[in-house]
Amino acid sequence: MTGNSTPTEKARALFLAALMVLSVFAATAAFAGSAAAAVNTGQADTIDLDSDTVTEGTNASGTVNVSDNSTDVQVWIDVDDNGQYDSTEPNVTVDNSTFETETDPIDVAFDGLNTTGLETGTYNVSVNQTDTISTGTLATANESLDVEQVLVTDLSAPRVAPNASDITIEATIENVGASAQEVNVTLGAANNSGNVEAGSPEVEIAYDNQTELASGDSFTVEFTPNSYYNYTANNINQSEDVYHGVYVLNNDTANTFQDGAEAPFFIGGSDIRGAVEAEVTNDNGNPIEDANVSLYINSVDPTNLVDRGVASGGNDGNFIRFTDLAIGNDQNTGVQYIVRANQETFQADNRGALLHENNVEETVSPTLISNLDAQGIEIVRADDLTDKSNATLLADGNSDNTAEFAVITQNQINESISGSLDVNLAFNDAVNSSGDFINNDAIDRSTTVTISGSNTASIDESVGDVNAGEVSYTTFEVTADNATAERLQSLGDDPIGTYLFDAEATNESTTLTDTASVDYVLEGNDVLTGDVRTPEDLDMEDVTLWAAYEGQSNQSLEFIQDTFVNAEGDAFLVKTSAEGGYMIDGIALNETVNTDIRLYAVASEEAYNNLNMTDQNVGQFVAFEATVNTSEWQDVSDGTLKQAEQNVNIFEEDVDFEYRMDIEVEDAEGALVKSTDVAQDESREVTVTVEKRPIDRQGEWSSDTVEDGKEVTVSLTDDTQGSLAETTLTVEDGQATTTFTAASAADGTTNVSAETENDLGEINATSGSDEAEINVFGPAAITGDVVNEDSQNLPGATVTLFAGDDTDLSDPLTSVTAGDEGSYTISEVDGQRLQSGEDYIVEAEFNGETETRTFTDLSAGTNDGDIAIIGVTPQVAEFDITNVDPAANVSVAPGDTVSVDVTVENVGDELGTKDVEFVFDGSVVASESVELSGDQNTTVTFDVTAPDTEGDYSWNVQTEDATSDTWTLTVEESGNNNGTSDLARFDADGSGQIEIGEALDALTAYNEGGTIDGDAVSIEDVLAVITAYNEDSQV
């Protein structure tokens, strides 16, 4: 309302009030020149409490923000809630000399606001910046304070009970205030939550009256009602959660509500008492003693806890029994219990038991798996904890020649282990092994290393039995200490010996193992040499040649370069031709076993590299290959080395190639896969990878040498499922791509196939696993209404979708909120449309109650998803008034327009349309119809013209559900005179508002008899200017 200052608009009210008194009514002619220094301009803007809740008799404290430090601050508790100070209300004064002036706005701390004698309730702590406080001083800022006297500090009530059984409820009542209280305690019950703790139960069961409580004292009251006679017989429901508890009233004339507490309660449909037993074991079936066991009803939730204890009974110290439980009449009305067992360092385990008259007792066996137990070990390379490759060492007998490995592990929940884990390492066949651990110049074919749980790292991919995430690890070395040429030769393992070693560890119940290997290679003195020439007998330069031993599983250039490396880091079996010749001088021939050497060459010009080996793993096309037999080696000089000659002739060969293709399709995440699901009308990229090899040769396939521009034809095995953007594709860098688009009405499977022509004009085509499979599905949606058993819509219900196999509802796919009519639609998950043909579970929740519905082989299109939740009732639309601005008495001039902002909120569940009304002097003078959903709010603004007749008029706002406080509108000539005075002439800067300087100019002109804009300034003008400045009014 622009007719009066709100707490945020009054930043300067006291300043100008003082200015008006000193300059207008005292008419001090000399005042204008010193006005800014002589008047009080501060106003309390906001107030923050150190605590929103205090006990009666203690002091409230907090901070007030002001914009000026020239005036004291007054703080009081507005006991009668009339927006102004009354002389009997507690108050404190903060002297302006104590203000913290370094902050902006200025922080003014206050304390000592005493609450002694106040009743339990919510009060406004009010503030005004003024040197003196008296009855009628208006509040410029407020903050809510809750005062407590008597509290229910503990409630002990059973969670379940059989029908017609006596139960015991205990409550502790404490006087936390400073004044003695006489209280009444009532035991009550209700079908809906919140009623008992608010003091309005549906059934009042028992009473404990007129207990005198001194400050700080407490007492415990006990009630022993019967679950039938006091509950069910009084229309408190069975076989579902209801609520019971206590509330406290002050034994005064008003029976002032003090506090309340309630707990959920389940009354069984049968009067037979049930029992659940539990025997706790580990995953090997061995008993676990003294496990903590909790019993819940329906689900594991603190509010559903029935009982708890330690499983320490029985012969094995792992047994516990829960008795006096509620049960159902039959299986359909059975009561679901959940036994949750846990123990430190173990993963908790839940087991269910359904009790009814045909299953009164049930025994369950929770199984605990140790969290600390290592779930696996893996030997990896120390420089990359995801690398499982073997290591290669030169067999030089040097202990300093080492390869570093690591052993990694993690516990059962994919985290680092707690404590440590010993790992035994040993080479297989230790007697005949050249392997060695530990750089110590001694032969160590076995050793033990310890993984410390605190030595951790993170890996981004799983390795064997160890999953991606945090791991614990330790490192160890394998050395060449025991690997010499003589030993490898004596074992027949030269020139390359591969030795396996094992890691073994034992967790609490299982032996963990892994195996790795190390290769020891020899650098010999034997020499292979020869010429490298073309058929025209021309020297060939820059030809890469490498030697491999017959029988090696990997004879590729890359492997030879990485494996046969000497101490200087040179790959001694790889050379480059120069001046038409080559010499490979690191070959180690086996003296006792015939050694054939394979020689390969790759020319720098691609045209020469068109051949590939027929039976060796070379991994690329080569320009030349040959076998140098053992018989071709000759002793040289003194017999310390052997030499063989193998000339290399390199020429272009016209080779015919055949092709093979592999097809992949993009999945929903953009990854290329062999099979995926695609919704109708959606598109996915299809990629064809093309490889070639010489016809009639069994060499390696390669995509690197497939010529760019090669054409590939693609097609669908069932073109009713969709179409391909292009069917004739051009290969680039070994691949070709097109786009598949699913048909609008498709619902089936198609393969993407491909074919191309080889160099002989024959068709090479895909088949079987070469092709990609696309499953086209119709987009589906689950649409329905969430209602109760009376078909009442439940707006705001939470509807959650789960996969069909997620029977424990632990991994939600998506969640939506039912609309105003209780309707909902689920049509996509994570941006992807819901897929037909899949199984889903939908759970609806409203006010703590749930119901599920299962969809098997979901149909394309819209599926009916109506769900009925039993035992809940939606709250009808109820429009509460949550804010009125201004919420204070107002003074205006006759004919002024005043504005009121009213915020209303629908605190019910259902959509509603209601009138918000402005009541002036007892009559509705303005009304606006508002439609709101549950929990929705809006702000309505009323612009009302003040009467021409001076006087005090009452006003308030209302809906059919709520009425605001009533305030006074004072109409007087000295009020806001914006309607009778032309204020635009005082707005010197044209900003549309009166600034402080412009207000002072008007005051000075009045004091000195001057003019503004050619006209004299009257006292009415000054008052109007001051009011416009106070209220930031537009002029």
Classified as helix, coil or strand, 233 is helix
In contact, 967 and 83? CB cutoff 8 Å = yes
Q: Are strands 867-869 and 779-788 parallel, antiparallel or unpaired?
A: parallel
Q: What is the pLDDT of residue 18?
A: 37
The model's pLDDT over 727-745, given as tens digits with 9 standing for 90+, comes to 999 999 999 999 999 998 7
Classified as helix, coil or strand, 768 is helix
Q: What is the pLDDT of residue 279?
A: 96
What is the spatial distance between Cα 121 and Cα 91, in angstroms, rounded to a whole number?
18
Amino acid found at 580: G
Q: What is the pLDDT of residue 37?
A: 29
What is the spatial distance between Cα 668 and Cα 683, in angstroms, rounded to a whole number?
10
DSSP 463: B
Provide the pLDDT confidence category of residue 700 given band limits of 50, 70 and 90: low
Q: What is the pLDDT of residue 712?
A: 97
Q: What is the pLDDT of residue 562?
A: 85
- Going from the C-alpha of 601 to that of each of 607, 701, 949, the distances in angstroms are 13, 18, 113
What is the spatial distance between Cα 853 and Cα 329, in angstroms, rounded to a whole number?
24
Of 173, 148, 181, 147, the closest CA to residue 261 belongs to 173
Q: In this structure, how many other beta carbons lie within 10 angstroms of the beta carbon of residue 243?
A: 22
4-13, 696-705, 937-946, range with the lowest pLDDT: 4-13
pLDDT at 595 over 70: yes
The model's pLDDT over 114-131, given as tens digits with 9 standing for 90+, comes to 999 898 889 999 999 998
Q: What is the pLDDT of residue 2?
A: 37
What is the spatial distance between Cα 533 and Cα 693, in angstroms, rounded to a whole number?
25
Classified as helix, coil or strand, 958 is strand
Residues near 140 by Cβ (< 8 Å), separated by ≥ 6? 5, 7, 10, 13, 43, 44, 45, 127, 128, 129
Q: What is the pLDDT of residue 22?
A: 40
**Structure tokens, 1007:** 């004091």
Tell me the CB-side half-sphere exposure of residue 309, using CA atoms within 13 A: 17
Mean pLDDT of 831-859: 88
**Structure tokens, 895:** 């004919």
Residue 325 CB-density burial (10 A; 0-12 exposed, 13-18 middle, 19+ buried):
buried
Classified as helix, coil or strand, 430 is helix
Kindly tell me the number of DSSP H helices and DSSP E strands found in the chain: 6, 75
In contact, 499 and 428? CB cutoff 8 Å = yes
**Structure tokens, 221:** 């009251």
pLDDT at 613 over 50: no
Domains of the chain: 43-146 (2.60.40.10), 150-267 (2.60.40.10), 274-370 (2.60.40.1120), 381-521 (2.60.40), 526-649 (2.60.40.10), 657-770 (2.60.40.10), 779-869 (2.60.40.10), 879-971 (2.60.40.10)
Provide the pLDDT confidence category of residue 612 given band limits of 50, 70 and 90: low
**Structure tokens, 934:** 């549950």
The model's pLDDT over 217-250, given as tens digits with 9 standing for 90+, comes to 999 999 999 999 999 999 999 999 999 999 999 8
Amino acid found at 796: G
Q: For residue 795, say if its preceding peptide bond is cis, omega within 30 degrees of 0.
A: no
In contact, 232 and 238? CB cutoff 8 Å = yes
Q: What is the pLDDT of residue 920?
A: 93
Q: What is the pLDDT of residue 990?
A: 78
Residues near 275 by Cβ (< 8 Å), separated by ≥ 6? 321, 322, 323, 324, 325, 360, 361, 362
Provide the pLDDT confidence category of residue 323 given band limits of 50, 70 and 90: very high
Cα angle 434-436-438, degrees, rounded to a multiple of 5: 165
pLDDT at 5 over 60: no
What is the spatial distance between Cα 32 and Cα 1002, in angstroms, rounded to a whole number?
10
What is the spatial distance between Cα 651 and Cα 656, in angstroms, rounded to a whole number?
16
In contact, 694 and 655? CB cutoff 8 Å = yes
In contact, 550 and 597? CB cutoff 8 Å = yes
Classified as helix, coil or strand, 792 is coil
Of 357, 573, 590, 386, the closest CA to residue 488 belongs to 590
Provide the pLDDT confidence category of residue 974 given band limits of 50, 70 and 90: low
State pTM to two decimals: 0.44
Provide the pLDDT confidence category of residue 607 given band limits of 50, 70 and 90: low
What is the spatial distance between Cα 895 and Cα 903, in angstroms, rounded to a whole number?
26
pLDDT at 265 over 60: yes
pLDDT at 369 over 50: yes
What is the spatial distance between Cα 1010 and Cα 431, in angstroms, rounded to a whole number?
119
Cα–chain-centroid distance for residue 157? Answer: 35
Amino acid found at 760: L
Tell me the CB-side half-sphere exposure of residue 654, using CA atoms within 13 A: 2
Mean pLDDT of the residues in the chain: 87
In contact, 548 and 522? CB cutoff 8 Å = no
The model's pLDDT over 403-423, given as tens digits with 9 standing for 90+, comes to 999 999 998 778 888 788 999
Q: In this structure, how many other beta carbons lie within 10 angstroms of the beta carbon of residue 602?
A: 21
Percentage of the chain modeled with pLDDT above 70 = 92
Mean pLDDT of 855-878: 88
Mean pLDDT of 467-494: 89
Classified as helix, coil or strand, 104 is coil
| Complete DSSP assignment for 326-360 | --BSSGGGPEEEEEEEE-TTEE-EEEEEEEBTTB-
In contact, 963 and 927? CB cutoff 8 Å = no
Of 122, 176, 143, 140, the closest CA to residue 62 belongs to 143
Q: Are strands 937-945 and 44-49 parallel, antiparallel or unpaired?
A: unpaired
Q: What is the pLDDT of residue 808?
A: 84
- Going from the C-alpha of 484 to that of each of 522, 551, 569, the distances in angstroms are 8, 21, 18
pLDDT at 29 over 60: no
Identify the top-confidence range among 380-389, 597-606, 806-815.
Answer: 380-389
| Phi-psi label, residue 948: left if phi above 0, alpha if psi -120 to 50, beta otherwise | alpha
Mean pLDDT of 1019-1033: 80
Q: What is the pLDDT of residue 35?
A: 29
Mean pLDDT of 830-855: 89
Residue 844 host element (H or E): strand 840-846
Q: At what angle do helices 1019-1030 and 996-1008 cross, to 10 degrees?
A: 170
Q: What is the pLDDT of residue 488?
A: 86
Taking the alpha carbons at both ends of the chain, their separation in whole angstroms is 16
What is the spatial distance between Cα 359 and Cα 488, in angstroms, rounded to a whole number?
72
The model's pLDDT over 546-581, given as tens digits with 9 standing for 90+, comes to 999 887 778 889 889 988 888 788 999 999 999 899
Give the strands of the sheet with 59-66, arranged side by side. Answer: 44-49, 59-66, 106-114
Classified as helix, coil or strand, 894 is coil
Classified as helix, coil or strand, 541 is coil
